[in-house]
Amino acid sequence: MKKAHLFYTVFLLVTTSLFAQEPLLVNTYNRNTTSLSGAWNNIIDPYENGFYNYRYEPFENQENPGNGAFFMNAKAQNPQDLVEYDFDKMDTLQVPGDWNTQKKELLYYEGTLWYKKSFDYKKSENDNRVFIYFGASNYETDVYLNGKKLGKHIGGFTPFNFEVTHLLREKGNFLVVKVDNKRKKEGVPTLNTDWWNYGGITRDVKIVETPKVFIQDYFIQLDPKDNKKIICKIKLNGDQKSSKKIRVTIPELHINSEFIANEEGCIDQEISAQNIQFWSPAIPFLYDVQISVDNETLTDQIGFRTIRTKGSDILLNNTSLFLKGISIHEESPMRGGRGHSKEDALQLLTWAQELGCNYVRLAHYPHNEHMVRLADKMGILVWEENPVYWTIDWGNQDTYANAQNQLSEVITRDKNRASVIIWSMANETPTSTARNTFLNKLATFTREKDPTRLISAALEQSNYNGNPLIRTISDPFASQVDILSFNQYIGWYDGPVEKCQTIQWQIDVDKPVLISEFGAGAKYGHTGNRDQRWTEDYQEYLYQETLKMIDPIEQLAGFSPWILIDFKSPRRVLPEIQDGWNRKGLLSEKGEKKKAYYVLQEYYLHKK
């Protein structure tokens, strides 16, 4: 198979019956879009009466679904008609947004909820095509326009889209979306997590209008083997895409190159470039890159940098780098609930920078696009993570396809972001033959899809040769990663804080070591003795002793303590302390700084 064909085969590899969405549109940030954000009517449907008839047969499989199918948005036409719902008389929810924090009765709700949005739309050109794009919807989403099924998406944190050109009307369109956030054993993530299972259409919904032949996807990044060359891979979409002229322009680099698309509408080229200003946390320089075909010009803001490892060093632009990081959950520090806005992302990343971070770990799933776009501008390096968390159904082929699809979607969305340097395969997964096979396949897939970034996973530490006072990493997956990352909670889940003074580390793998988690819970304002759990003093003491313990690790290349800010979790039920919050944040849920915040800030201030 030719190189270009392989690249685009990988781009569109996962198209099983589980995932009926269409190939993803990249860079909706800079496309011609119309927002569908705002108030959507909704129906809570725990029995899924709007999807199944009384024989538990899906209405959508029936030739005439009738008035019982919610996706038909039926209205009684005469007094004899039986219609047992009316979207337009129902309450509304804001989209984007989770349902849990918008209505008290939905705080713990897990099940099906239907959304409906009515809208008019007139295309700017008759021959143009139109798509509906979802930033994310948790977890299983069925989408209907004007009573017709567009498709299904599985996964709560990645984007998807459907073409609606053939169904769209200038007046009176209705978009009906069934969202089901029930946790499932075969799901990704699976039943058991340590964060809130926010349901709903949690990110932006947009109408995207394109020409008949348009730029579907592109990958424009620095060649990791030659920093004077730019890799340029572009894919067109449309019936007449072959032999099209594609122009790539980067004015500040004096690049104005024209290529001819092959029969599949693709190009795979390298462009020579001189005097490139490399992107870095110190100088997060972004170039305006323009891609043109026929009458469409798509612009993106792209930084060029290389990232690789050499022995125990992480090299950014061939210079050794220490990752001064923090882990972050996608929760809004302003209103609570799932974060989704640019303001949410800016606040979280600003707090990370004020802490002294040059790096953030976005846990435990792909965050919204604002995070990585802003990280590009702010000069913050990013670890992005697939939600393969704790104990997945490792032997289930559909579960693997689901995990690969979600990983594929986040890579497709963010592969042009200079800030993103690490794709993480999983978090705290117990070793087994099935698990190792699962993760190895994900790693192979990722390297084929994006050979320009590093691969890691948050592993677990263990005793060295059975000695509990010497710790190491003995996970078989360690041989597959570029960066050896692990979580450790000595002093919190593993003995008292003083145990940090007795532990040594022996890591025999010649790779950079990144401690992906450590920490302790503390409620803001709760003080006492340093050996008293849940106090700020205990958390402060643990940070002091942990930093002393890990600093001597020879291969240490950085860490991302757990976590920037307290976050909601139904696992955390201790009254008057947790009250439904994981309290390991260095900031309270209101952004108040705990004592440990200043310990880490001081360490980062003096760490070179």
Could you report the average pLDDT of every consecutive run of 10 residues in the chain (608 residues)? 40 43 92 97 98 95 93 94 96 98 97 98 96 98 97 97 97 98 97 97 98 97 95 96 96 97 96 96 98 96 98 97 98 92 97 98 98 98 98 96 97 98 97 97 97 96 95 95 97 97 95 98 97 98 98 96 98 97 97 98 95
pLDDT at 21: 66
**CA distance readout (Å), 196 to 111, 213, 361, 480, 489:** 14, 41, 18, 31, 22
Q: How far is the C-alpha of 98 from the C-alpha of 203, rounded, in Å?
A: 9
pLDDT at 15: 38
pLDDT at 22: 86
The torsion of the CA quartet 288, 289, 294, 295, rounded to 10 degrees, works out to -20
CA 10 to chain CA centroid, Å, is 19
Q: How far is the C-alpha of 249 from the C-alpha of 300, rounded, in Å?
A: 11
pLDDT at 20: 56
Q: Across the strands, what pairs with 116?
A: 41, 176
Is residue 587 within 8 A of residue 566, CB to CB? The reply is yes
pLDDT at 334: 82
Q: How far is the C-alpha of 259 from the C-alpha of 293, rounded, in Å?
A: 10
**CA distance readout (Å), 163 to 147, 152, 366:** 15, 13, 24
Q: How far is the C-alpha of 30 from the C-alpha of 11, rounded, in Å?
A: 21
In the chain, what's the furthest Cα-to-Cα distance? Answer: 80
Q: How far is the C-alpha of 3 from the C-alpha of 269, rounded, in Å?
A: 11
**Phi, psi dihedral angles at 366 (to 5 degrees):** -65, 130
Minimal CA–CA distance to 355: which of 590, 608, 602, 607?
602
DSSP string, 123-146: -SSTT-EEEEEES--BSEEEEEET
Strands laid side by side in the 129-134 sheet: 33-35, 205-210, 129-134, 160-163
Is residue 116 within 8 A of residue 174, CB to CB? The reply is yes
**Phi, psi dihedral angles at 396 (to 5 degrees):** -90, 120
- pTM score, whole prediction: 0.95
The region, left, alpha or beta by phi > 0 then psi within -120 to 50, assigned to residue 27 is left
pLDDT at 5: 39
SS3 per residue for 164-214 = CCCCCCCCCEEEEEEEECCCCCCCCCCCCCCCCCCCECCCCEEEEEECCCE
Positive or negative, the CA dihedral 70, 71, 73, 77 is negative
Burial of 89 (0-12, 13-18, 19+ CB in 10 A): exposed
The DSSP code for 339 is: -
**Phi, psi dihedral angles at 538 (to 5 degrees):** -65, -45
Q: Which residues contact 343 (CB under 8 A, 6 or more apart)?
A: 334
- Cα angle: 595, vertex 598, 600; to 5 degrees: 115
- 101-110: long-range contacts, CB 8 A cutoff, minimum separation 24: 101/198, 101/335, 101/336, 101/337, 101/338, 102/337, 106/44, 106/199, 108/570, 109/44, 109/46, 109/199, 110/181, 110/182, 110/183, 110/197, 110/199
CA 372 to chain CA centroid, Å, is 9
Q: Compute how many other C-beta atoms are within 10 angstroms of the C-beta atom of residue 504.
A: 13
Q: How far is the C-alpha of 109 from the C-alpha of 183, rounded, in Å?
A: 11
Helix ranges (H only) for 320-432 are 342-355, 369-378, 397-414
| Structural domains in the chain, sorted by start | 31-210 (2.60.120.260), 214-307 (2.60.40.10), 317-606 (3.20.20.80)
- Cα angle: 580, vertex 586, 587; to 5 degrees: 70
Three-state DSSP state, 75: coil
pLDDT at 120: 98
- 542-546: long-range contacts, CB 8 A cutoff, minimum separation 24: 542/491, 542/492, 542/497, 542/500, 542/596, 543/519, 543/596, 543/599, 543/600, 544/599, 545/491, 545/497, 545/498, 545/500, 545/501, 546/490, 546/491, 546/500, 546/518
Burial of 311 (0-12, 13-18, 19+ CB in 10 A): exposed
